[in-house]
Structure 1
Amino acid sequence: MPLPETELLDTRRLHQFVVAVESDTLSAAAARLFLTQQALSASIRQLERDVGVPLFDRRRRKLHLTDAGNALFSGAKSLLAGNHALLTQVRETAKGESKPFVVGHSPAISGDEVYRLITPAIDLMPHQPITARQVFPGQLRDLLFANEIDVALRRGVESSANLVSAVFAYHELRIAVVADHPLAHRNSVSVLDLIDTPIVVWAPERRSFYTDFLVSFCRRGGFEPTLIVNPVQGTPPATAVARFPEACAFVTDPPGDLHGGSVRVVSFDDPPLAPVQALWLPYTHSPVRDAIVRGRPDSDWARGSGTRPGAGPASRARP
C-alpha cells in the first residue's frame, strides 16, 4: 500500500535545508543554491509544514536547529546520497551502461586482500567493471555520501551514523620485523614475546579502531604495549619496520621474507583475527556489493587468503 503524499519528504527542499544548516548564514546558503533568501526561507517553512514540527529555533539570531531539526539533518545526507545513487543507476540502466563499482579501502587492507574480497563479485559478474581505491579511514564516510565510492572497507566493528555496516571477513595477523631483529628467526611468536618490542601503528590509541584492537590484544596477553605512530601514511604496513628497526608491525602478509629479504614476517602461535567491515549508504541496492559482503563459503579459499567466511549480508556491526 503506497504511503500518503503527506508522509513523503520533498528531496529538493531537504537538500536546501542541508545547505542552510551547513552554511554560516541563510544568505550564504541562498547564494550557494542560486536562490533569493526569501525563496529559501519559504522553502524551509514549507518543509517544516511538511514534517509538522519547527526545525529551527527562531528565537536566536543565528541558525540554530531544534532537536527535531538535528534529527532530520542527521539522516538527510544519507537519504539524499541514496537518492542520487538511485537516479544515476536508473539513467545508466536506460543507456545500457555499467559504471565502475568503486571499492574504497583503508591502507590497513592491502590491495591483494581487496582483490580476494571482491573475487565473489568478479566471478558472479565478470563483465562488471570494478575499481579499488585506497582511502584514508577518515575520508571513507564523506566519499560514500558524495557517491565517489560505492562501498567502504576498513578494519573495524564500529557502527557509523547513517550508514549500514557489516563485518564479513576476518584476516589472520602476523608480525613483520627487520631481518636482524631478535624475533626474525623464530618459527612463531606468542604475544608475550612482544613485551620488549615497540609496535608501529598508523594512528594513536582511541583514534583508530585498528590501533585499539592491537592494544587490546596485547593487554589480554598481559602487558602494556609501547606504540610508535608512523608518520608515513599509505605505504604497505611491513615497510614501517625499515624506519623503526627496533619495532614490529602487525601485517597480514604470508610468513617469510619481504622486500628482498630485508623484512621477515613471523606467525603467532595463537594468531589474532582482524575484522573487515563494509560500510555503505542506506536506501541503496547493489548486486555487486551484495556479492562482496556475502562472500563465498569456500573454506580452502578462505584459509589460503587468511580470511574466514563472512557473517552474511546486512548484519549490523556493533562495537
Structure 2
Amino acid sequence: MTPPDLELLDTRRLHQFVVAVESDTLSAAAQQLYLTQQALSASMRQLEREVDVAVFDRSRRKLHLTDAGNALYSGAKSILAGNSALLTHVRESARGVVRPFVVGHSPAISGEEVYHLITPAIESMPHQPITARQVFPGQLHELLFANEVDVALRRGVDSPANLTSAVFAYHELRIAVVADHHLANRSSVSAPDLIGTPIVVWAPERRSFYTDFLISYCRRKGFEPTLIVNPIQGTPPFTAVQRYPEACAFVTDVPGDLQGGAVRVVAFDDPPLAPVQAMWLPHTHSAVRDAMVRGPGV
C-alpha cells in the first residue's frame, strides 16, 4: 500500500513544465503541447501548489526559473525518461518482446573494448540481443534521456548531473606512432620520451575529460604537452598518426604493428590507466547493465 502521507508529482504536469522551460515562450510551449496558453499557465500554477514553492520568477518578462525551479528541472528529465523506459518495458514484457539492449559508447572506447566489456552480459544472458552504437560524447546524455541507448560508456570519472554512473574498468594506455617515427623502434617508452612530440587528441582542453586526463598525465610527469586536435572523428585512434606523422596518439591497442606495418604501438614503462565509466538513467533496473558493471565471475 502507498503510505497516506507520500507525496507524488504528476508526471504529465512535470512534462508540461519541462516543455515550458525548454521553449522560448509559454505560448510556444502551449502550441507544442496542444494546449491553450491559459490552460498551460493554470497547470504550472497547480504544479507550484503541488511542490509548495514558486518555480517561476514572474517578476521578469520572460520565463525565468527560481532556484527551486532549477532544482525541479534538473531532476525532471531523468524522472520522465525513467517513466517512459518503464512503460515501454512493461508493454514489451506483456507482448513477450525482447528488445535489444543498446550500449552507446564514445569513440575513445573501441568496438573491441566494448565487446570485452559486454562479455559478462553475453555469457549470463545468451539470448538477450545487444547493440553497440558509437556516438559523439556530447550526444550520450541526450540519447539516454531519449531512451535511445540503455547505457552509455565513456572515458570519465565525474558524476554527471541527473544520471547514475560507475567507473567499472581501467584500460592500459600505450602510444601509436608511424613506422619511421623516432620512437617506433623502442621496446617501451617513458613519459619524458614524449617531450617535443605532439599528441593527437579529439577535443580541446576543458572540452573533454579524456583530453584533460592525458594533459594531466603529462603535467604530472613534468612537461607541458603540445596538442593537435584531430578533426576526423569516429575512426580508430591509431589512424590519426598517419595524418600527423610527427605526432603520437594514446591508444589501447596491443603493442606491435598495425595498418600493415605503417603504424607501431609502443608500451609505456609505467602505463597510465584510463577509466571506463558507465552512465544510465537513475531509478531504472537492468540485468544486462548489472552484469556489465559487475564484470566477469561476479
Matches within 5 A, 1:1-319: 2-4=2-4, 7-297=7-297
Q: Which residue type is aligned with residue 244 of structure 1?
A: Y
| SS of 2:266 mapped into structure 1 | strand
Shift of 1:216: 1.2
Decide whether the 8 Å contact of 1:6 with 1:50 is kept in 2: no
Q: CA RMSD of the aligned region, Å?
A: 1.1
Structure 1: how far apart are the matches of 2:118 and 2:177?
29
Structure 1: how far apart are the matches of 2:76 and 2:67?
14
Alignment deviations for residues 145-193 of structure 1 (CA, whole Å, 9 cap, x no partner): 0101000000010111010010000000000000000110111111111
Of all paired residues, the percent bearing the same amino acid is 81
Please, which moves more after superposition, 125-134 or 210-219?
210-219
Shift of 1:63: 1.1
| SS of 1:7 mapped into structure 2 | coil
Alignment deviations for residues 294-316 of structure 1 (CA, whole Å, 9 cap, x no partner): 11159xxxxxxxxxxxxxxxxxx
Structure 1: how far apart are the matches of 2:66 and 2:10?
20
Decide whether the 8 Å contact of 1:176 with 1:251 is kept in 2: yes
Task: Give the direction of change, closer, same or farther, for the CA distance of 1:6–1:50 in structure 2 (3 Å limit).
Answer: farther
Decide whether the 8 Å contact of 1:153 with 1:277 is kept in 2: yes
Shift of 1:55: 1.2
Please, which moves more after superposition, 204-213 or 232-241?
204-213
TM-score between the two structures when normalised by the length of structure 2: 0.98
Structure 1: how far apart are the matches of 2:239 and 2:107?
12
TM-score between the two structures when normalised by the length of structure 1: 0.92
Decide whether the 8 Å contact of 1:170 with 1:273 is kept in 2: yes
Alignment deviations for residues 32-59 of structure 1 (CA, whole Å, 9 cap, x no partner): 0011111111111111111111111112
Shift of 1:86: 0.5
| SS of 2:123 mapped into structure 1 | helix
Decide whether the 8 Å contact of 1:103 with 1:130 is kept in 2: yes
| SS of 2:215 mapped into structure 1 | helix
| Unaligned runs of at least 5 residues, structure 1 | 299-319
Task: Give the direction of change, closer, same or farther, for the CA distance of 1:4–1:62 in structure 2 (3 Å limit).
Answer: farther
1:312 match: none
Structure 2: how far apart are the matches of 1:202 and 1:256?
23
Alignment deviations for residues 15-41 of structure 1 (CA, whole Å, 9 cap, x no partner): 001101111111100000011111111
| SS of 1:97 mapped into structure 2 | coil
Total equivalences in the alignment: 298
Structure 2: how far apart are the matches of 1:271 and 1:2?
53
Shift of 1:5: 6.6
1:317 match: none
Alignment deviations for residues 252-311 of structure 1 (CA, whole Å, 9 cap, x no partner): 00110001110000000111110000000001000000001111159xxxxxxxxxxxxx
Please, which moves more after superposition, 79-88 or 56-65?
56-65
Alignment deviations for residues 49-107 of structure 1 (CA, whole Å, 9 cap, x no partner): 11111111112221111111111011000000000000001001101111110000000
Q: Which residue type is aligned with residue 19 of structure 2?
A: V
Structure 2: how far apart are the matches of 1:251 and 1:23?
42
Runs of at least 4 residues of structure 1 off by over 2 A? 1-6
Shift of 1:196: 1.7
| Unaligned runs of at least 5 residues, structure 2 | none
Structure 1: how far apart are the matches of 2:55 and 2:216?
42
| SS of 2:170 mapped into structure 1 | strand
Structure 2: how far apart are the matches of 1:94 and 1:136?
34
